[in-house]
Chains A and B, each alone.
Chain A
């Protein structure tokens, strides 16, 4: 794998006009939370046109399943489903999610997003309230461990909005 470059992963998705929302730890980071993450998590729109654009972007990123030594690339049927595709790309790890919270799809979260500027392009990220909700739903130790920081960040954001 080349140097880790999450911005390049997002740039390639953007260039291929993939409709997606950044979720998970990176969304928390975009919202200002001082947390870390080791991958990019996206929730994509599961229409045939968007899945085709996403496949093209994943080909450019040389994405393969990271837990399978056979270097298998995801195909259309994988991306049409609700599951989570845990991929390794030439710029770092990328999780492509058909749903979050088991049943929530791209269209459901569009009203709970912020727009984030990454140099010369913009991407959508889940807002912090919704990130917290998703972490609470997931309930894994690694999710629960970050909740105090995420809630404190949300409180600081609200405070600065009230003052601003």
Chain B
């Protein structure tokens, strides 16, 4: 791709490097999904995950208030 700054070989190499970050366990799957986030989430309890979601919704609401009409 013109102007992309990296060739397809370089991108492929970069992808391979990311796969090797944790040795035998790839960090990303073939769709580009970050598997480290999934493993971290699976280590949490359902309640801890629920709290993370709640905190995220709360932070969204505070952003809305800050950026709302004046």
Please report A residues at the B interface, Cβ cutoff 8 Å: 3-7, 26, 29-30, 32-34, 36-38, 92, 116-119, 125, 148-149, 151-153, 155-157, 160
Count residues of B near A (Cβ-Cβ below 8 Å): 25
Select from chain B the residue with minimum beta-carbon distance to A30. B46
Q: Which residues of B contact A30 (CB under 8 A)?
A: 46, 49-50
8 Å CB interface, B24-42 against A: 29, 31-33, 35, 37-42
How many pairs of A and B residues are in contact by the CB < 8 Å rule? 72
CB-based contact A148/B50 at 8 Å: no
A residues less than 8 Å from B57 (CB atoms): 4, 6, 36, 38, 92
Closest 3 CB pairs of A and B: A34-B41, A152-B33, A32-B42
| A149 cross-chain contacts in B, Cβ below 8 A | 33, 38
Write 9 A-B pairs (CB below 8 A) sorted by A numbering: A4-B58, A5-B54, A29-B50, A30-B49, A34-B37, A34-B41, A92-B57, A152-B31, A160-B42
Q: Are A118 and B50 in contact (CB under 8 A)?
A: yes
User: Contacts A92-B57, A149-B33, A155-B29; is A6 near B41 (CB within 8 Å)?
Assistant: no
- A148 / chain B contacts, CB cutoff of 8 Å: 31-33
**Complex interface: chain B residues within 8 A of A153 (CB):** 38, 41-42
Chain A residues positioned under 8 Å from B60 (CB to CB): 38
B1-51, CB < 8 A from A: 29, 31-33, 35, 37-42, 44-47, 49-51
In the complex, which of the residues A7, A92, A117 contacts B45, with contact meaning CB atoms closer than 8 Å?
A117
